[in-house]
A = this chain, B = another copy of it.
Amino acid sequence: MRRVVAQVATATAEKVEVKPGAGFDFNTYMVDRAKLVNKALDDAVPQKYPDTLYESMRYSLLAGGKRVRPALCLAACELVGGDIQAALPAACAMEMVHTMSLIHDDLPSMDNDDFRRGRPTNHKVYGEDIAILSGDALLSYSFEHIARATKGVSADRVLRVIMELGKAVGAEGLVAGQVVDIQSEDKEVGLDVLRYIHINKTAALLEASVVCGAILGGADEATIEKLRKYSVNIGLAFQVIDDILDVTQTTEQLGKTAAKDLAVNKTTYPKLLGLEKSKQVAEQLIDEAIAQLDGFDKANAAPLVALAKYIGYRQN
């Protein structure tokens, strides 16, 4: 586990400019946060009976990954003056939901992917039935875990977090994005539909991560809305860059099947706008996201600035 995280952080070091002397080391920061989150996830979903179910949940949940969503959640909480312990259960919940969406999206009846994060997908190891059920358990547990494990925050704010997460996951978020995505395969769709897919399938959960972190940190409404704008922008950029990486990187570099979009004749930003224009769109989205952080203390905002740049310039 530690090795995977360290590799991610190393790859990151080459891409994110962190000004020397700025007093903020993004690599160390991400490694530390990933350690914290991995430990919390390991504790939240321990191995128990029924063995296969928990093995399957843990196989995907503890498979490394960049822990971008938890990092965003914790950073937002801290930026608004909260204690990160208050946001840790929600940060874990974001990763549970993300993992569930990967397990279900990889199924034969959906994207039919055999590899994820450089390993066989969940259903390849445990079978389709267990993969579906593991996803269900992770989804259900994400809400339960927030309700059960969040400490030091008013119950009203915890309920609001559950609403935000629900909206991000369900038929007005992630699931809606996946449905329109599936229905758009082998079809010409315009930028509006593509944007709808990206906003729902990817940005919604990044938005929930940031906004929930801010809510749990005690942020006021104006701050929450600023951070919402930040997160929607980096969420959309994240997916535009995913489209770009699918074309430019190999399966080995990605840790998942490359050129998948081309293979299924999927509409992407590069296909609609070309590669250069797509890169410009991503850059502009990242710039606008960072601009939302202008009003905050520079040192306090450094993690969210770096996370935005990391998403903007990542290579996998």
Q: Mark A249-283, 1 if CB is under 8 A from B, else 0.
A: 00000000000000000000000000000000000
Across the interface, name the chain B residue whose C-beta is closest to A176: B50
Identical copies in the complex:
2
Assess A175 versus B104: contact at CB under 8 Å? Given A156-B155, A159-B147, A163-B148: no
A interface residues (Cβ-Cβ under 8 A, vs B): 45, 49-50, 52-54, 57, 100, 104, 107, 109-110, 127-130, 132-133, 135-137, 139-141, 143-145, 147-148, 154-156, 158-160, 162-163, 165-167, 169-171, 175-176, 178-180, 182-183
User: B162 touching A133 by the CB < 8 A rule?
Assistant: no
User: A162 touching B144 by the CB < 8 A rule?
Assistant: yes
Across the interface, name the chain B residue whose C-beta is closest to A130: B179
Assess A144 versus B132: contact at CB under 8 Å? Given A50-B180, A158-B155: no
User: B135 touching A136 by the CB < 8 A rule?
Assistant: yes
Most buried by B among A50, A57, A155, A162: A50
Complex Cα gap A145–B57 (Å): 25
User: A50 touching B137 by the CB < 8 A rule?
Assistant: no
